[in-house]
């Protein structure tokens, strides 16, 4: 086992790449209104930016998992970083809607190549008992990239303008990418790990075997149900909702969105400790978070007029907790699949939250346009109330599937000799 210093160096560089990927993914969160004016687009067209980015991200998860199995996490991670740099620079310089959409698609592809690679590195560089905590720390600290897409990004857009702000962002990833090229290795023993060539038959067998595991499916639905509210608020609709829907100032909206990340960073390590010590209750924790989300959103949306500040603060905290809760899905995938299928299983699970987020981003845009006359972007509080209510359709579907696959997963664990005292694969 490598020294603790070497482990933390590799993890730190991988974390920095993921953090910047989250920043690029979230960089439209406070620039939505500017993008509408820059490109002269409606809410539905604005949603297309994030919709295509999420669609590409979700669609790339399984191919990325297979690429990692074949060419190693280091090579795939560096390729994704390079693509983000080029695409974000293109977004900075785009002067038409079509070019901007193309650039965001590139950001989505590059973003898709980060998290799965970092998780695979964790499984190679750390002892199994430390992986749940390191996974939570990676996801939690990585989400702080969204803070850079809130208050500082708001400042950058107002100070150096659209082009300057996004070029600076691209340059940051370029610098970290060079450091990663010099520092990262796939495993402590091998700098560039290469797997056997993968045939279509082998791909089909691997994916089928991973998806056949009840734990993989439970992980997928946990990721699906817990993540989309946080992702949608952070990526696009949180800022307009708080400003136009709740009557908050831009500064207040930026600070409220930053609180999501504070909640992520505070709750992530606690969840990592909990699932590492109580693996039998992983799904119970996820279901509790879903009910917390549904009840808190209900209080905000049903409040007469604008919700009070204390309730919005509570909403941001609960929404933030949903991010670390989605990481529970990856731990279920890890304990349900052999190491040779870990990347593909992780890719399958990672699709869940982003598929749900994609559906929600589009649904909100459609509902806002339906309640807003003409091509105006002056969305009313009532329009936002109906638009944000579309989350309940996804929560209802997700809770039904969680109940179904939780029963199947627990039955399989018991059949393998596990139970509340011990879950196979968690030693």
Q: For 414-423, write each residue's pLDDT tens digit.
A: 887 766 766 7
How far apart CA 318 and CA 217 sit, in angstroms, is 24
Task: Tell me, rounded to whole angstroms, the distance of Cα 408 from its chain centroid.
Answer: 26
What pLDDT shows up at residue 391? 97
Looking at residue 45, what is its pLDDT? 77
How many Å is the maximal CA-CA distance in the chain?
A: 63
For residue 422, list its beta bridge partners. 419
**Residue 311 predicted with pLDDT over 70:** yes
Region 128-141: mean pLDDT is 79
Residue 427 has pLDDT above 70, yes or no: no
Binned at pLDDT 50, 70 and 90, residue 227 comes out as very high
- Res. 199: pLDDT tops 90: no
Residue 275 binned pLDDT confidence (cut-offs 50, 70, 90): confident
- CB-CB contact of 378 with 244 (8 Å): yes
What is the mean predicted confidence (pLDDT) over 32-48? 75
Rounded to 10 deg, the angle between the 4-26 and 73-93 helix axes is 30
- Residue 196 has phi, psi (to 5 degrees) of -70, 150
**CA dihedral defined by 63, 361, 266, 284, rounded to 10 degrees?**
-80
Sign of the Cα torsion 47, 53, 57, 59 reads positive
**Averaged confidence pLDDT in the chain:** 85
pLDDT of residue 222: 96
Question: d(Cα 82, Cα 170) in Å, to the nearest integer?
Answer: 10
Which pTM does this prediction carry?
Answer: 0.74
- The yes/no answer on whether domain 4-186+202-415 falls in CATH 1.20.120.140 is no
Report the distance separating Cα 51 and Cα 54, nearest Å: 5
Which stretch of 40-44, 84-88, 290-294, 306-310 has the lowest confidence by average pLDDT? 40-44
> What does the pLDDT read at residue 147?
66
- Does pLDDT of 375 surpass 60? no
Q: What are the residue boundaries of the structural domains of the chain, listed by start? A: 4-186+202-415
Percentage helix, strand, coil for the chain under 3-state DSSP, each rounded to 5: 80, 0, 20
The string of DSSP letters for 269-318 reads: HHHHHHHHH-GGGHHHHHHHHHHHHHHHHHHHHHSSSSPPHHHHHHHHHH
Are residues 424 and 416 in contact, defined by beta-carbon separation less than 8 angstroms? Answer: yes
Token digits of residue 112: 């898709």
Amino acid 376: pLDDT: 58
For residue 377, pLDDT over 70 is answered with no
- How many CB atoms within 10 Å of residue 158? 11
Question: C-alpha angle with apex 72: 71 to 74, nearest 5 degrees?
Answer: 120
Name which residue leads in pLDDT, 369 or 84: 84
Q: pLDDT at position 421, please? A: 64
240 CB-contact burial (10 Å; exposed 0-12 / middle 13-18 / buried 19+): buried
Assign 150 a pLDDT band (cuts: 50, 70, 90).
Answer: low
Mean pLDDT of 127-148: 76
> In the chain, pLDDT over 90 holds for what percent of residues?
31
Report the length, in residues, of the chain.
427
| Each residue's pLDDT tens digit, 348-362 | 898 898 889 889 988
Mean pLDDT of 151-166: 80
Please name which of 180, 11, 2, 156 lies closest in space to residue 85, comparing C-alpha atoms: 180
Q: Does pLDDT of 291 surpass 80?
A: yes
Is 70 exceeded by the pLDDT of residue 186?
A: yes
pLDDT greater than 80 at residue 50: no
Mean of pLDDT values over 120-127: 83
Give the whole-angstrom CA distance, residue 204 versus residue 200.
6
What's the confidence (pLDDT) of residue 321?
A: 93
Q: Is the pLDDT of residue 251 over 60?
A: yes
Residue 385 is predicted with a pLDDT of 94
Give the least confident one: 93-102, 151-160, 343-352, 396-405.
151-160
């Amino acid at each position: 086992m490598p020294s603790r210093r070497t482990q933390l160096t590799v993890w730190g560089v991988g974390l920095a790449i993921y953090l910047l990927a989250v920043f690029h993914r979230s960089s439209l969160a406070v620039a939505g209104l500017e993008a509408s004016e820059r490109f002269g687009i409606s809410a539905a067209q604005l949603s297309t930016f994030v919709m295509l980015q999420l669609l590409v991200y979700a669609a790339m998860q399984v191919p990325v998992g297979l690429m990692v199995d074949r060419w190693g996490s280091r090579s795939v991670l560096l390729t994704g970083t390079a693509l983000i740099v080029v695409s974000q620079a293109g977004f900075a310089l785009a002067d038409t809607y079509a070019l901007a959409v193309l650039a965001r698609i590139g950001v989505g592809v590059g973003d898709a190549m980060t998290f799965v690679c970092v998780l695979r590195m964790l499984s190679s560089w750390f002892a199994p008992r430390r992986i749940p905590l390191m996974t939570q720390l990676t996801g939690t600290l990585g989400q702080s990239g969204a803070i850079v897409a809130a208050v500082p990004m708001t400042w950058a857009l107002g100070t150096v303008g659209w082009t300057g702000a996004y070029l600076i962002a691209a340059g940051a990833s370029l610098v970290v990418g060079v450091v990663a090229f010099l520092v990262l290795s796939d495993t402590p023993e091998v700098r560039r790990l290469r797997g056997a060539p993968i045939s279509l038959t082998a791909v089909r067998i691997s994916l089928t075997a991973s998806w056949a595991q009840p734990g993989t499916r439970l992980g997928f639905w946990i990721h699906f149900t817990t993540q989309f509210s946080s992702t949608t608020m952070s990526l696009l609709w949180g800022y307009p909702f708080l400003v136009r829907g709740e009557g908050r100032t831009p500064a207040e909206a930026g600070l409220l969105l930053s609180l999501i990340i504070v909640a992520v960073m505070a709750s992530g390590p606690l969840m990592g400790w909990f699932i590492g010590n109580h693996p039998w209750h992983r799904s119970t924790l996820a279901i509790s978070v879903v009910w917390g989300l549904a009840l808190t959103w209900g209080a905000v949306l049903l409040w007469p007029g604008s919700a009070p500040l204390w309730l919005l603060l509570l909403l941001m905290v609960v929404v933030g907790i949903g991010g670390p809760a989605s990481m529970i899905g990856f731990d279920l995938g890890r304990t349900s699949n052999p190491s040779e299928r870990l990347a593909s299983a992780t890719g399958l699970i990672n699709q869940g939250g982003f598929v749900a987020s994609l559906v929600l981003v589009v649904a909100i845009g459609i509902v806002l346009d339906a309640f807003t006359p003409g091509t105006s972007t002056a969305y009313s509080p009532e329009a936002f109330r109906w638009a944000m209510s579309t989350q309940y359709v996804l929560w209802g579907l997700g809770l039904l599937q969680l109940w179904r696959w939780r029963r199947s997963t627990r039955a399989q664990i018991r059949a393998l000799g596990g139970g509340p005292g011990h879950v196979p694969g968690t030693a």
